[in-house]
Amino acid sequence: MENEILDIVLMFIKAFAVGGAICTVAQVIINVTNLTAGKILVYFMLAGVILTAVGVYQPLVDFAGAGATVPISGFGYLLANGAMKGAEKGLFYALTGSLAAASAGVTAAVVFSFLAALLFKARTKPN
């Protein structure tokens, strides 16, 4: 029982440390450069794709779990991983594998955003 609790606490600590490190890098980029938030998101997603392609991101996911998959770089990992698994079946599946892998997350984001838009009234932020 104590070992299970210790394993869970350790899992949380690893996820927090890795996810926090990724977010810290993003915050430093925001503070140091004049890049827009959109460009930073794209760069982090592409970094996830590239790190997955060279085999670096999978060990990070195995180590940190949600700490590596929840940030936007994890979305790049998901897309690249889906494309690589699809490529094992053929060219068409290489093109559609990333869409299949990410479809549940994208669908959930759209549905919950729609529900939030129905429940809350949008208003302009005062200056």
CB 83: neighbour CB atoms within 10 A? 21
**pTM of this structure:** 0.79
Say whether 88 sits in a helix, a strand or coil. coil
| Residue that is written with structure tokens 């549940």 in the block | 104
Question: Quick check: 73 and 45 in contact, CB under 8 A?
Answer: yes
Q: pLDDT by residue (tens digit) across 89-103? A: 988 888 898 888 889
Domain ranges of the chain: 2-119
Q: pLDDT by residue (tens digit) across 41-99? A: 999 999 999 999 999 999 999 999 999 998 889 999 999 999 999 999 988 888 898 88
| Residue that is written with structure tokens 């490529």 in the block | 87
CA atoms in the 13 A half-sphere facing the CB of 64: 22
**Mean pLDDT computed over every residue of the chain:** 91
